[in-house]
Amino acid sequence: MSKSGRRGFCRALGGLACLGLGGCKIEPILGIADEREALPLAFPDLPPQIPDQLEDAETTLRALTEELLQREIPRLTSGGLRERASGDPSAVSHFVELMRGFGLAPAGNRGGWVQPVMLDIVEPTGDVARVRLRPESEAPFKPAEAPPKEEETPPTEAETASKAGETPPEGEAPPEGETPEPAPPPKEPDAPPEPEPELPSRAIELGALGAFRQRGDAVAHERLLLGPVLSYETPLPASPLAGRVAVFRAPKGLDLSSDDAPARVDTLMSTVRDTGAVGCLLLTRDDGPGIERFRELWQRQVRRAGAGDEALLIEGLVAAEARKPIEAALGDDEAWMLEVNLATHSYVVESHNVLGRVTGREQPDEAVVLTCAWDTPDPRMAELHTIRLLATLGAFFQLAEWSRRSTPTPYSLVLLLTADAGLAAGQSVHAAWSANYGAETVALVALDRPMTSRMPAAVLSGHYDAGVAELARRVVAADGRELLLDDQLSMPSLAPYLRYPAPVMTIGAGDPDTIVDVNGSGDADEDEGEGEATAAAESPLDGLHADIRLLRNLVLALAARR
């Protein structure tokens, strides 16, 4: 072939190549993952993929979280949101704005951020309250009536003139020389019969000797029949209590000054209600301080609207001073009645749960829920509730950042802040709602007792299976801790979720008296000194960061499981 022939052949071949390229479009393939590489989802062994620019994810997330905590800690511990009443709209608005700032999507009713929780507020009217025990043979107490005011008779003209020093009108002065006849003496009324001497009342006034509340309607009662005095032992007998006010000697372990006393008293009263009793009086051994605490705690009550129909008519804690008189009175065969007028009234307010979510990539309508109460109904527990709230906010902030910068989890992640109101009000509303609407809950997690950086073990409590327990063990082991299991849910406020099949659990520190050093080595005094030195070198927020990391890792692991 000549030189010119070869050149022509190359031109023709080049033209065909250009024609072929013009008919094809080459797509960039750098963003397409290789199907042979499995997605690393089994956290904590293989966490979700982190971009190259975020080489040290833990350090970056902690730095971002500390910025969040520096803003929120002053607000929630000493600022305007230190005391968060259950019906406070400003607190709800603040948490909605926080979720927006996290980049979450709304997960509440009808695509909104909030979920209504209707509450009854019970407050004193200012009148005198009365709680009184009396024998059936005595009449009910009646407050003394004010005597009626006597009507004044207008003075006659003569009396008016006499007072003024004037001459009586003509025709009223007696004739000269005549003495006026004296007026006849008034007739003495028939003397009333002498009343029979009243027997001294045997009634026992309990108003100043106890703390009382009505969780149902705030109404007065005059004839509540009392049952016999019994010792509190389970199972409780039903036959002598049905239709009566049960009177129990309080369990020996009940300390009204302890932090968990309100929850224990609620549990005791609920158990009594299940026997068919209409009320309950607990005869305690408290000399006064614990009673005074509950009197202040019960002075203003918040409860779920409509829940009063199933409540006891009266619940009371009686001081040790009244215990013997009550036992003596109810020990005979005579029937005794309880009179109650707590001088309270009730009205309805609307509170809200706040919900936001990170949408899952495979199962967007199924969610792992991280929850915490946002309100502080009990001032004595406000510090614990605030630590839980800060840890929950910090953990979900990291989850949102992780999902935004990396691969979202298969399941959705939901942050649920509830209006607990001291009676699991918001939790009950959400548990019933999520069973039929919104994202289906596949697991629910809450922080129990806060952790510290040196805590040797964490406790998982609640309703879960062996697979979840193993998952939690691996999460806790990644932090160098042991996992202790407890099949009894440690937070009664989560009990409304137990009626549904999804795992419901708390994680956090266990009781310090039951946790031992898992290493089992070293002298105790040496370990204590080493712990003090380490604590001095640690940041004040290290314990909070330990809670945040624990919650984040457990939620990620639950949301990535198949």
**What would the pLDDT profile of 140-168 be if each residue is shown by its tens digit?**
877 655 555 566 666 666 566 555 555 55
Place of tokens 């712990």: 531
Please give the Cα distance from 477 to 457 (Å, whole number): 9
Cβ atoms within 10 Å, residue 123: 13
- Give me the pLDDT at residue 49, please: 45
Print the SS3 string covering 298-337.
HHCEEEECCHHHHCCCEEEEECHHHHHHHHHHCCCCCCEE
Are the beta carbons of 109 and 350 closer than 8 angstroms?
Answer: no
SS3 track for 169-193: CCCCCCCCCCCCCCCCCCCCCCCCC
Q: Give the tokens for residue 83.
A: 């005391």
CB 385 within 8 A of CB 392: no
Give the list of residues 6+ apart from residue 284 with CB closer than 8 angstroms, or none: 250, 254, 256, 290, 291, 317, 318, 319, 320, 323
Give the pLDDT of residue 160: 61
Taking 70 as the pLDDT cut, the residues of the chain under it are 1-56, 143-199, 234, 238, 307-309, 453, 510-540, 562
Helix (H), strand (E) at residue 344: strand 344-358
Are residues 130 and 340 in contact, defined by beta-carbon separation less than 8 angstroms? Answer: yes
Quote the pLDDT of residue 341: 93
Each residue of 169-181: pLDDT tens digit?
555 555 555 566 6
Question: Which domains occur in the chain, in start order?
Answer: 54-118+350-515+539-560 (3.40.630.10), 130-136+202-342 (3.50.30)
